[in-house]
Structure 1
Amino acid sequence: MRALIHVQHLLGTGHAVRAVAIGRALAARGVAVTLATGNRLPPTLATHGLDIAPLPLARAADATFKVILDESGKPIDEAWKASRRDALLAVAAAVRPDILITETFPFGRRPFAFELRPLIEMARTDRCRLVAASIRDILVRKDDLAKERWMADTALALHDLVLVHADPAFVRLEDSFPFAEAIAPLVRYTGFVHAPSAVAPPPGDGIDEVIVSCGGGPVGTRLLEAALGAKTLSARAGDAIWRVLVGREHGEAALAALAERAPPGLIVEAARPDFPALLGRARLSISQAGYNTVLDVIAAGCPAVFVPFAEGSETEQAQRAALIAARGRCTIVEEQTVDAASLAAACDDALERPRPTPVAVATDGAERSAEILIEEAHRRSIR
């Protein structure tokens, strides 16, 4: 059996992390998996067992996602779209998938409908048994209800399944999508997709430290800047080593500039694959509230301060952080107002509370997704 996964991350890297985890779970069950990706994968991401098919690169110009740039930094045009569509269709023609997975689309990535509709149509006319959409726990709300209606209508027209990577006992699709009932026949909850790295940190790293992170995209600058000054202002965390992890997309110059300004006892370094294990040793985590980071924090069981990404019209991280806060598991600082003083105060608040109790959620979403996809593809082959 063959599977083709299409993933296009534009700012953060969570979409790619989930897609790779599901791909590896499929591969572990004997499925030949090709991952067609339109952006560079994080260097910390293990992709063994997958055939990576790179497409012409695209990224968002900013957090509004209104302008998509090509590898040279120019807005994409019709010629670029045609070239990219042809490249994707060539991958599909070579793979001839039994299972096709569109990560996010049609619940996002609408600007890429120019290649995804032809991809799905091509799969339907070939041997493909199953077309599935793969979405995270919380969708970003749109300011126009018609756009959300389009998502539902498109899923009903083009897809056989919608895999929702969440535990419905914790959060449900209808909490962030007003047309969840309309697509209910397609929806299958998988549990959260959590695939922490098995890399162990060197002895000593992370022990009783404050770990500051900002995800894999080029965002979180306000958080990083605030962290430089918060260490000396915190009554409960000022004596700890602070380890600030900077994502690749910020660039080497930004990392060097932060490191040059770091106070004593604060380490600035590039994001590392042993991040989940560092959290397991930490006194406190300070981070944004992206899907993968929140799961790593929950798994580690460490106190947490979340500074949810909220640029543009983003609502997803704020909603996720609020769900954690309602269970007494974190302190929240708004991104628009975060500074050294507010971050230090949040650290002290988080550390004054009793150590968080475990949050019981299903985190085997990659494995469950693979099982659902394979079972459904087999069922459709014998109709």
Structure 2
Amino acid sequence: MKKKILFYCQYHLGMGHLVRSLEILRSLAKDFQVCFVKAGWEVEGFEAPTGVQVVTLPLLLSENRQVKVADSSQDLEEVKQIRINKLLQVFEEFQPDCLITEGYPFNKHQFEFEAIPLLERIKATGRKTKVVSSLRDIVMAKHYDNREAVTDKICNLMNQYFDLLLVHSDPKFHNLAESFSRIKEIQSLIKYTGYVAQSPSENPLLTDEDLATLNLNKPTILVTIGGGQLGHELLESILEASPFISKSLPHQIIAFAGPFFPAEKFLKLQETAANQTNLTLRKYTANLIPYMEKAELSISLCGYNTTMNILRTGVNSMIFPSNKDWEQKIRAEKLEKLGLTEIIHPGDLNPESLSQKIIANLNKRGFVNTCEPIELQGAQKTSSLLQEFLENAVVAV
């Protein structure tokens, strides 16, 4: 029988953690029996793979590292207890061989009111269930007033409850020690999986709207800002720059605001876009890779999943790292240094300056990539590492 994996993912600031988790689940589902416990806004088009059992916890929001109810009529403590009970119930019924916590304990500490009871339950059973942390490439990039205390806490939690840390990065590009200096204090086994990148589907489930947009018979510039909480200034500048671009380029701009982009603000942008013949503005798509494969230029933020899509497709790109998410700045600077992208700085967002920068990018000679390839098979490697780990209890270092 296949071994069982309980995958616990709390995504509260966007959909990056969800998208990466779903890609990992696609690989895990081939080799394991998987139960996916998720907590966050529902996003149409982002469903778990066939065969994966899905359990959704009642929604809680996060603000300033504190949780709050999504519905003001609810009692916070009651919702928290419901979530704890449900998480423990799923564990008892599913009886997993392995628990994977997405991000925790390196982040999401505001949700440990439910994570700790689950980890304590596992500990009380003699740790028959192996516990694994699934972690992105860059952590703790922004300033922390209590950085040492937070780092102490992370090390203690890893050493107390976790058997394995899977880092979804290529250490040739970014080593965890660069953003977490006390990695040697972690006693758990640490393995790098490579980056988790979405695999282009041979038969993507494109909507009629996707097909209509992709069939536009013009060279395209793709503009995306991830989930839509960040990067508003980039999207607004693109809309203002599009008339300047239309005078010099025959390109159609296809822009996506993201599923969490504020509705009222999106309506105003639609009004601005309505009179611009070279611009198509949509809320979001669940099938971004076909757009990147079509585009002559991708303009985006530098979140984990968008960056991996850029690297996977090899699209010519310009990146605006959000100043509210410091991991993006680190990632973008490394990519530009390797010649894999061009950074858009805040001072470039003047519509005329931005249009000139875009035109110059498209008119320049293509860059020949001579750097060593970045490992993008992180989802597949995650599954193979877990197979070996669970079969042998320890993976050879």
Per the TM superposition, whether the score is higher than 0.5 is: yes
Contact residue 229 and residue 340 of structure 1 kept, 8 A: yes
Q: 1:373 matched to which residue of 2?
A: 386
Q: Please list every run of 5 or more consecutive structure 1 residues that lacks an aligned counterpart in the other structure.
A: none
The answer as to whether partners of 1:332 and 1:346 remain within 8 angstroms in 2 is: no
C-alpha displacement at 1:133, in angstroms?
A: 0.3
Q: In the alignment, what sits opposite 2:334?
A: 323
Deviation at 1:197, TM superposition (A): 4.8
1-structure distance, mates of 2:248, 2:137: 32
**1:355 counterpart residue number:** 366
- CA drift of 1:33 comes to 0.8
Q: 2:309 & 2:72 partners in 1: Cα distance?
A: 33
More off after superposition, 16-25 vs 67-76:
67-76
The amino acid across from 1:10 in the alignment is H
- CA gap 1:140/1:309 in 2 versus in 1, 3 angstroms: farther
Match of 1:98 in 2: 97
Q: Give the 3-state SS of the residue equivalent to 1:249 in structure 2.
A: coil
**1:24 corresponding residue in structure 2:** 26
SS class of match (2:286):
coil
Structure 1 residues 70 and 83, CA gap change in structure 2 (3 angstroms)? same
Q: Is the 8 A contact 1:16 1:41 kept in 2?
A: no
Distance 1:232 1:22, change over 3 A: same
- Choose 249-258 or 323-332, whichever is displaced more: 249-258
- Map of 1:37 onto structure 2: 38
RMSD over aligned Cα atoms: 2.5
Q: Check whether the contact 1:240–1:265 (CA below 8 A) recurs between aligned residues.
A: yes
Partner secondary structure for residue 248 of structure 1: coil
- 5 Å-filtered alignment, 1:210-229, equals 210-229=221-240
Q: Give the C-alpha shift of residue 147 in structure 1.
A: 1.0
Asked whether the equivalents of residues 135 and 162 of structure 1 are also in contact (C-alpha less than 8 Å), the reply is yes
Q: Counterpart of 2:333 in structure 1: which amino acid? A: A
Pairing partner for 1:275 from 278, 285, 288: 288
User: Greater CA radius of gyration, 1 or 2?
Assistant: 2
Among 55, 58, 77, the residue aligned to 2:60: 58
CA displacement, residues 186-235 of structure 1 (integer Å, 9 cap, x when unaligned):
21000111124522663634862010001124322112111101222348
Q: Counterparts of 2:129 and 2:297 in 1: how far apart (Å)? A: 47
Report if aligned partners of 2:218, 2:250 keep a CA contact under 8 Å in 1.
no
> Quick one: which of 336, 342, 349 aligns to 1:338?
349
One-letter code aligned to 1:140: M
- 1:68 touches 1:76 (CA, 8 Å); kept in 2? no
1:102-181 matches, cutoff 5 A = 102-126=101-125, 128-141=128-141, 142-143=143-144, 144-181=147-184
For 1:257, the equivalent position in structure 2 comes to 268
- Counterpart of 1:16, as a letter, is L
Deviations 1:268-305 (A, max 9, x none): 01211331111111111111100010111112222211
Q: What percent identity do the matched residue pairs reach? A: 26
Q: Is the CA contact 1:279–1:302 (under 8 Å) kept in the aligned structure 2? A: yes
Counterparts in 2 of 1:91 and 1:155: CA distance versus 1, 3 Å:
same
Deviation at 1:129, TM superposition (A): 3.2
Q: For 2:227 and 2:131, how far apart are their aligned partners in 1?
A: 28
Alpha-carbon distance change, 242 to 172 in structure 1, aligned in 2, over 3 angstroms:
same
Work out whether 1:310 is the aligned partner of 2:323.
yes
Alpha carbons 1:302, 1:355 under 8 Å: kept:
no
Distance 1:74 1:373, change over 3 A: farther
Q: Distance in 2 between matches of 1:106 and 1:181?
A: 16
Q: Secondary structure at the match of 1:121?
A: helix
Deviation at 1:73, TM superposition (A): 5.7
TM-score, normalization: structure 2? 0.87
Provide the rounded CA distance (Å) in 1 between the counterparts of 2:184 and 2:217. 44
Alignment: residue pair count: 375
165-174 vs 77-86, greater mean Cα deviation: 77-86
Deviation digits for residues 37-94 of structure 1 (CA, Å, limit 9, x no counterpart): 1113432324123211000112334xxx434332216898433322221221122122
Amino acid at match of 2:69: D
Q: Which residue of 1 aligns with 2:87?
A: 88
CA deviation after TM superposition for structure 1 residue 123, in Å: 2.4
Listed as ranges, the gaps of 5+ residues in structure 2 are none
Contact 2:198/2:308 (<8 A) preserved: no
Distance 1:207-1:295 versus aligned 2 partners, 3 A rule: farther
Q: 1:209 aligns with which of 207, 220, 244?
A: 220
